[in-house]
Amino acid sequence: MTEMPQLYLVTPPEFGAEFPDRLAAVLDAHPVACLRLDLASKDEDRVMRAADAVREVAHARDVPLVITDHSALSERLGLDGVHLTDTRGLRKLRTAWGPDPIIGAFCGTSRHDGMNAGEAGADYVAFGPAGPTALGAGARAETELFAWWSEMIELPVVAEGALDAATIAALAPVTDFFALGEEIWRHDDPLAALSDLTAALR
């Protein structure tokens, strides 16, 4: 792989009216390949309002917007696809949707699940957590997994979860995208946090 990985942004699990402006500032400063609406809330009305707010910002900048798991809402809200954390319905969804909408698949640390998702029609596979987590004992998507995937499989791969500057530098040669969310939004200045985290990509 010769090209530098691209950025894939993930919204905070909860956000207020000020978030679209923060998002716009980041999108204006950095090229971003995709944005994921990833709310903790299952309240449909809340999810729809949030989607409306960030869709305007993303689409004005030609950034595709996908939503975590709410595949039915994706179509209704004019979004560009879905990011599935449970991939069992992936093949059926791909058949129903056809080739155009984005379908991403989160596969934890499982090479096997990733390959199954690819065969079912996923546009990308995400593995994580790729960085060190506070839990320590929890499974981590190791560099070897990304290295194997990028060598053997053509489907784009996303590294996500607990990313820090060292992990990003280590994975840069073997991943296609870095998905960053709370790693930047928890800071007062998400732009500075993003610049620090991705220094190795420049």
Question: What is the reported pTM?
Answer: 0.96
Neighbours of 191 (CB within 10 A): 15
Look at residues 125, 199, 112, 137 and name the one whose alpha carbon lies nearest to residue 163: 199
State the pLDDT confidence band at 1, using cuts at 50, 70 and 90.
Answer: very low
Span 114-162, pLDDT tens digits: 999 999 999 999 999 999 987 656 789 999 999 999 999 999 999 999 9
CB 119 within 8 A of CB 98: no
Superfamily of domain 6-187: Aldolase class I (3.20.20.70)
Whether residue 175 has pLDDT greater than 90: yes
Structure-token match 């709410």, residue found: 70
Q: Domain boundaries in the chain?
A: 6-187
Are 77 and 115 in contact by the 8 Å Cβ rule? The answer is no
